[in-house]
Structure 1
C-alpha cells in the first residue's frame, strides 16, 4: 500500500489524538513499555495516557469522538459506554445491527443504529483517511495480517489519522505474528472493557456495569451443579445445516466463550478438536452433545423452529441427544460486548440449567424474550440507565 502514502502526507486528525509524542516503532506498538497496569494517567495539560497490549501506552489530548471499530466486541464496548452512535465502522454492519437490536429491545429507551456503518472486516487505508476517526478500536496485530496491510501502513494511519487501540487475538488466544510474537498479552472481555473505558474517560460507567456483571457471575457460580451433572454443549452454525456445519468449543480460553465458560459445560468433542472446524451430522452424533447452541439463532431472519424440524426429521441428526430432548437453542454473537455478555450469560444459564435458573422460552424470530422479573439475572432498567448516563442511581 506504499502507493497510497504520497496522497496523504499532511496530517489530518493527528493533532487531536496521538501516541505519546514519540516516533512509532514496532516495539512501541507491541507494548514494550513493560507496563501491564492500564490505568489512565492525567498530565498537566489535561491529556491522559492509557496502556494496553499490543499498542503500548497511548496518549490522548482529548476524549475521542469518532470511533472506528473492526470487530463487534469493540463496538459493543463503545455502545455500553453510551457511545454507540459515534461508531462509524463495524464488521458486518447490517448483521450486527440486527443482532444488537434483538437484545436492546429489552433495554428501555436504548437502541443501536449501525446498519449504514462502514464494513470493516477488511478495512482499506484510504477509507480510514476518509472516516477521520479519533481512535481506531482495532488490533493492529490482527490488521497487519491482512494482505493489504503492513507495519508501514499501521504507523502511517497512527501518524496521520488516529491511534490504534484494541486487542482482538484474545478472542481465543490466537498467536500473533511478526512484531508482536513475543510481547502480546491476552485479556478477558471485561478486563479489556475496563481499559477501553479509560480511553473514553468513562470509568464510572464501567464500574457500574462491572458490578452488575460480578453479581451475575456470583449468582451463576453459587448454583452450579457438580461437574458430573453438567451438560455437554456444542455450538454450531451453518448456511445450510444439511450441507456443512461449523462447530465451536464453548470451554476454551478467550473472550469468545465469556458467556459459556463460566457455566462450566462439558466438552463433547475431545481436546484435539479445533474450534471452528467443519463437521457433518455423523460427527455431531458421535459427539452427542446434551445441548446444541445455534450461533446466529437470534437473527430475525433465522427460524429456530425450521432448524429444529430439519434436525428432528434427519435420520442421523434425530439421534443426537440434544435433538431428542428438545435442547437446541439460539445464540447471538461470539464477538460480544459487555451488554450482550450479560444477556448471553443469562440465556445460557437457562439453556444449560433450566431447573435452577428457569427455562429458556422457545420463541422464534423475535427479539430476546420477555423473562419474568423473578427469573432475571440482572435489572434491565438499571443497565439501560447506565448506558444512558445515569450511573449513580
Structure 2
C-alpha cells in the first residue's frame, strides 16, 4: 500500500504523491462526511446509496500495476487507496472480524484486548474446517499512541477517526497527520448502539448495520465476491429466522447480561438499534427491562429480579476463562438469584461478543435462535466450557463448510 512513509524509492506513490498525480477522486475530503448513506441493517432503507457507484477507479495505474480506487463511508467521506492494503490496524473486533471473514485475519497487527479476543474467537474456529486465527500478543490498541501507529506503519487503519479523536491526547490535527503520513482511517464506531459522536464530527456521521459496514470494508480489500457469498448465507439465515420464529405474543422476555458481580450487573437490551444487537434484534424477543433502563446500565440482583427475564444471554460466557457452570451455581445459591425465572427454568446461556464480525454474527444468530426458541430451531446444548458446541448437521442453521471455504478463498 502506497500510504506509508518509507525510505524506499520504489513501489506505489505515497498518499501525498497520489493526490498530486490526480488518481482517484477525493471529493469532500477524507475527514469530511458524505450524504445519502443508509442507516438500515440491510442497506435497502430510505437514503441508501447505490453501492455500485461507491467504488471509484482512477484513470492512472500505479507502479505496482493496480488501479487506484476510493470507497465512501461516514465519517471519513471518500477514502482513496492506490493498492489493496496489506497490514491492518484495528481497535475493535467488529472490524477485525471483517478482516478475518475476508481471509485477512492474520494481517491484523493491533486490536483491543488481543489475547482475550483471540481466545474467544478461537472458540468458534474449530467448527470451520481449515480456518485458523492468531491474534495473541498483538498491540492492544484501545488507546493507541501516535508513536505506535508510526511504528506499526499499517497499510490501513480499520478504526473510526471520530472514535480515536475522542481519546485523551488526540486532536483533529493528530488524526489528519496519521491519515496523511501513515495510512487512511476506515471505520465506524458509533453505529454500535447509534451513540452520539463528538460534536466536531456530528454533521458528517451516519449509522450502518454490521453487514452494510462489512460490504464497504470488503470493497477496501477488493473482496466483493467473498462479501456477496457470505451475505447470501446471512440473508438465508435471516429468512429462516423470520419464517420460523413464533408470534410476538409467544416470545420470552430476554436480556443480555452475565451476572458475576451481583452488586453491579451490566444489562443490555436485545432490540436496541445498532450492530451490537445484530445477533439478537432479528429474533425479536421481548425486552425484559422497560424504558426506565437504558442498554448498558447497571442494576443489582434486586433490580434484575424486578425485571425477571425469562432468558439471560451471558455476554462473554463462551470465553475460556468464564466458568458458566460456576455462574449458574452462584445464581442458584444466591437468595435473590435463585428466584429468577431464567435461573429456575435453566435458561442462563453463554454468548460470545457484542463487537462481532460477520462470522461470529452467523454463529450467534444460530445460537440465539436456539436459546430463545428451542421449539422452532432445536435445543441449544447445555454449555459449560470448550468450543462452540457441535450441532447435528440437520439442526444447523447455516453451512459451516461453505463459510470455511469462503474465508479460505474457495469460492
TM over 0.5: yes
Kindly provide the CA deviation profile for residues 237-296 of structure 1, in whole angstroms up to 9, marking residues without a partner as x: 35x333421111111000000000000011111023111111111000000000001111
Aligned match of 1:312: 332
Deviation of residue 116 (structure 1)? 1.2
- Out of 99, 102, 108, the position equivalent to 1:87 is 108
Contact 1:104/1:111 (8 A) holds in 2: yes
- Out of 91, 107, 132, the position equivalent to 1:111 is 132
1:367 aligns with 2:387: yes
Aligned match of 1:145: 166
Aligned match of 1:323: 343
Deviation of residue 28 (structure 1)? 2.9
Aligned match of 2:55: 40
Contact 1:268/1:288 (8 A) holds in 2: yes
How many residues of Structure 1 are paired with residues of Structure 2 in the alignment? Answer: 379
Contact 1:77/1:337 (8 A) holds in 2: yes
Deviation of residue 17 (structure 1)? 5.3
TM-score (normalizing by structure 1) = 0.93
1:21 aligns with 2:41: no
Aligned match of 1:342: 362
1:197 aligns with 2:218: yes
Aligned match of 1:255: 275
Q: Distance in 2 between matches of 1:148 and 1:173?
A: 25
Contact 1:50/1:198 (8 A) holds in 2: yes
Contact 2:34/2:204 (8 A) holds in 1: no
Deviation of residue 187 (structure 1)? 0.2
- Out of 271, 289, 310, the position equivalent to 1:269 is 289
Aligned match of 1:226: 247
Aligned match of 1:352: 372
In the superposition, relative to structure 1, how do residues 19 and 182 fare at CA in structure 2: closer, same or farther (>3 Å)? Answer: farther
1:285 aligns with 2:283: no
Aligned match of 1:3: none
Q: Distance in 1 between matches of 2:119 and 2:297?
A: 26
Deviation of residue 364 (structure 1)? 1.2
- Secondary structure at 2:97 match in 1: helix
Deviation of residue 16 (structure 1)? 4.7
Aligned match of 2:319: 299
Q: Distance in 2 between matches of 1:298 and 1:73?
A: 17
- Secondary structure at 1:32 match in 2: coil
In structure 1, the gaps of 5 or more residues are: 1-9
Kindly provide the CA deviation profile for residues 25-57 of structure 1, in whole angstroms up to 9, marking residues without a partner as x: 9x7345435364452111222111100000000
Contact 2:162/2:197 (8 A) holds in 1: yes
Q: Distance in 2 between matches of 1:28 and 1:290?
A: 49
Q: Distance in 1 between matches of 2:6 and 2:125?
A: 35
Aligned match of 1:56: 77
Q: CA RMSD in A?
A: 1.9
Deviation of residue 117 (structure 1)? 1.0
- Of residues 177-186 and 279-288 in structure 1, the stretch that sits farther from structure 2 once superposed is 177-186
Contact 2:33/2:205 (8 A) holds in 1: no
Q: Distance in 1 between matches of 2:265 and 2:100?
A: 31
In the superposition, relative to structure 1, how do residues 298 and 194 fare at CA in structure 2: closer, same or farther (>3 Å)? Answer: same
Q: Distance in 1 between matches of 2:164 and 2:402?
A: 36
4+ residue runs over 6 A deviation = none
Kindly provide the CA deviation profile for residues 306-352 of structure 1, in whole angstroms up to 9, marking residues without a partner as x: 11111111111111111110000001000000000000000000000
TM-score (normalizing by structure 2) = 0.89
In the superposition, relative to structure 1, how do residues 249 and 19 fare at CA in structure 2: closer, same or farther (>3 Å)? Answer: farther
Contact 2:55/2:71 (8 A) holds in 1: yes
Q: Distance in 1 between matches of 2:36 and 2:17?
A: 15
Aligned match of 2:43: none
Deviation of residue 183 (structure 1)? 2.5
- Secondary structure at 1:152 match in 2: helix
Deviation of residue 205 (structure 1)? 0.1
- Secondary structure at 1:234 match in 2: strand
Q: Distance in 1 between matches of 2:336 and 2:167?
A: 39
Contact 2:270/2:280 (8 A) holds in 1: yes
Contact 1:296/1:330 (8 A) holds in 2: yes
Q: Distance in 2 between matches of 1:190 and 1:95?
A: 24
Aligned match of 1:166: 187
Q: Distance in 1 between matches of 2:198 and 2:239?
A: 37
Q: Distance in 1 between matches of 2:118 and 2:298?
A: 27
Q: Distance in 2 between matches of 1:151 and 1:35?
A: 24
Aligned match of 2:206: 185
